Structure 1
Amino acid sequence: MSVQLLPKPLRKGLFRTFLLLTFFAATKPLHAQNHDAPKETSGFTAKLVNIESAVNEPFRFSASLHNGTATQQVYELKSELPIGWQISYRVDGSQVTSVNLASGQTREIAIEITASGNAAVRKYIIPIKAVSSSLTLPLQLEAVVKGSYGASLSTPSGRLSEELTAGSHKDIELELHNTGTLPLSSLSISSQLPTGWEATFSPSQIERLDGGKKVSIKATLKVPDKTIAGDYSATFTLGGNNTNAQAAFRIFVKTSVLSGWIGILIIALAISVVYVLIRKYGRR
C-alpha cells in the first residue's frame, strides 16, 4: 500500500494554518486575563496648574479626582500653604475637606486659594494631595502673584464735610488715589443723594490710572430751593473693573438770608394782622 504525498504548495499552506491556530490558542487565555484586569489608574489632575492673579483676588483652579481602584475610597484633601494663605475645596457648590468616591468614579473639585495681603510679587508652588487609606495622589499648583489692586476716594485735605445754602450749588474737589501696584481701568463716579439733589462730575470717566498715581475730580453738588435746614449725607462711589471705593460726606444745609428775612416779614405781618383785629373787634 502506497502513501501519496500532498503537493508542496498545499503542505506549506496547511503548515501556516497550523501555526496560526497554535498561536491564537496560546494567546487566548492571556487576552481574557487582560480583559478582567483594571484598565484605569487613580489620579488627581487640574485643567490649569498655573494661574496669575492680583494679591487681593483669589486663585481659582478646577481639578478632577478619579478613583481607579476596585474598591470605594475616601480621599482627604491636604495642602501646604505659605504663611497667611488660605484654601478651600468645593464639590457641587458645597465646601468639603474630603471626597468619597466609588470604584471608577470621578468628581470635579473647585479649589480656591487666597494669598496673604503682604504676599510678594512672584510665583508660589502650592502642593496639594488627596490621601486615602491606600493611596496618596499628588497635585502641584502654581499661583503667580502679579501685584495688587486698591483705591481710595477722599479730598486733598481729608475733610469730608461741607456747608451749603438751600437753592445753591458747590464745587467739591475729590481726590482719587490708586493705592495698589497694578493699573486701574474703566473707572466711573456715581452718587447717592437725598431726593431732589443733583451731582455732576468732571471727569466722570477715567480710562486708566497707574499704580500709585492720583487724579482730581470736581464734583458739583446742587441743593433744591425748598430744602429744610439740617444735616444730610451724600455718598460718592468709585466703580471699576478691579476695585471700588466710597467717600461719605456730611452736608449741612442752611436757609438763605433772603428766605430768613421773608420769614421774619411774614411773622411780623401775621402779628400786625392779629393786633389790628384785636383793636378793631376787641372794643365791641
Structure 2
Amino acid sequence: MLFNYLSKPNTFKCFYASINLIFFVILGFHPTLNAQNQDSKEKDLKSTFSSDLINIETSIGQVFRYTTTLQNNTSEDQVYQLTTKVPEGWRGIFKTKGKQVTSIKVDHGKREIINLELFPSYEAKPDKYKVSVIAKSLKESLTLNLEAVVSGSYELKISTPSGRLSEKITEGDQEEILLTIKNTGSLNLNDIELNSKTPPKWSAVFKPSKIDRLSPGETKNITAILTVPDKTIAGDYMSTFTAKNANSKDEATFRISVVTSLASGVLGALIILTAIIVVYILIRKFGRR
C-alpha cells in the first residue's frame, strides 16, 4: 500500500522534500554539528589591513603620507601593535584622531582609520623603496606592503662668489653686485625669476632678469645694479635679493653701507667752516663793546 502511495509522481516528490527538510532541521539544532559549523565560520574570518594608496611619489626631503584602514573581522575586540619595516635612516609614525600612537584598539566588526607618515633619510637617493607596515594582535598579524618613490629634489641657492653679503655705496650712485644662482637639488629648475626688496626710493635691476633653465649642480652669475638716491642719509641699510621658480625659492639679505659723496662732504665742510667764521666775526665785533 505504501509502495502504491509513493509510486505516484507528485506524492514521491513531496515525500522526498519532507525528508530533506527534517534532515536539515536536525542538523541545525544538533549542538555538536552547530558548534563545529560556527567554529568553521570563525576560522574563516580574517581581519584586513589596507591603504587607499599603496604607491606615493614625492621629491627628496618631503614626507610620504598614507591613509590606512584596519578592519577587525574577528569575534573579539583586538589591540594591534603598529610597526614599520623601513629602509635604513627612514622613520615612520602612526596617527589616529590627531594623536600619535604605537598601538590601537579595534572593536570586533569595526574599523579604524590610521594615518601613516614616512620620513625618508636625508641621504635617500631617487629610487623606489619598499615599506612593510605591520598590525599585530594576540590572535593575528596583518602586513601591508607599500611603496615610496623618491623622485628627486628642487633646491636653489643665491649668494655671491665670495659668500660676502655686504657692500659699500655712495649716496646718489650705482653699485653692481655680482650674484651666483646655483641649483643645489637633483632636478632641473626652469623659469627662475629674480626680485628685490630695497629701502624706499631705491631700485635694483638684474642682468639677466630671468634664468630659463638651470641643471643640477649648475651655477649662473647675475648682476644686480643697485641705485641709491641722492641725499640718502649715511648709515647701514638692508636689501634682499630673491631667486625663485614654481618649485623652489631662496633669498640673500645684504647690508648696504651708504656713505656721503665727496662733493657733499666738501659742501658740508664749507658750511661748517662758514658757520665757524661767522660766529668768530660776531664774537670779535660784539665782544669789544
Q: State the AA in 2 paired with 1:65.
A: L
Matched residue SS, 1:279: helix
SS at match of 2:271: helix
- Secondary structure of 2:176's partner? strand
Counterpart among 67, 70, 79 of residue 65 in structure 1: 70
In structure 2, relative to structure 1, the CA distance for the partners of 1:207 and 1:26 (3 Å cut) is: farther
Does the Cα contact within 8 Å between 1:187 and 1:238 map onto a contact in 2?
yes
Instruction: From the superposition, tell whether residues 101 and 275 of structure 1 become closer, same or farther in structure 2 (CA, over 3 Å).
Output: same
Q: Secondary structure at the match of 2:62?
A: coil
- How many Å separate the matches in 1 of 2:19 and 2:201? 98
Taking the aligned partners of 1:75 and 1:253, their CA distance within structure 2 comes to 67
Matched, 1:144 2:140: no
| C-alpha distance in 2 between matches for 1:107 and 1:115 | 25
Q: Give the structure 1 partner of residue 174 of structure 2.
A: 169
One-letter identity of the residue aligned with 1:119: A
Task: State the 1:14 CA deviation.
Answer: 4.7
Q: Find out whether 1:222 has 2:227 as its counterpart.
A: yes
1:125 matched to 2:122: no
| Aligned equivalent of 1:12, options 9, 27, 31 | 9
Partner amino acid for 2:81? E
Contact 1:56 1:149 in 2 (8 A): no
The residue aligned with 2:140 is 135
Q: 1:51 corresponds to which residue?
A: 56
Alpha-carbon shift at residue 283 of structure 1 (Å): 3.1
C-alpha separation in 2, matches of 1:21 and 1:195: 101
Alignment pair present for 1:280 and 2:285: yes
Q: Give ranges in structure 1 of 5+ residues lacking alignment.
A: none
Where 1:110 maps in the other structure, the secondary structure is strand
Match of 1:242 among 214, 222, 247: 247
1:123 Cα shift?
1.9
Residues 109-124 of structure 1 mapped to structure 2, 5 A cutoff: 109-124=114-129
What is the aligned-residue RMSD (CA, Å)?
3.2
Identity %: 42
Residue 268 (1) aligns with residue 265 (2): no
For the residues of structure 2 that align with 1:106 and 1:86, how far apart are their CA atoms?
25
Which structure 2 segments of 5+ residues have no match? none
Deviation for aligned residue 1:227 = 2.5
Q: 1:165 to 1:17 in 2, by over 3 A?
A: farther
Q: Deviations over 1:156-195 (max 9, x none)?
A: 3433222111122222221111122211234333334334
* Match of residue 214 from structure 2: 209
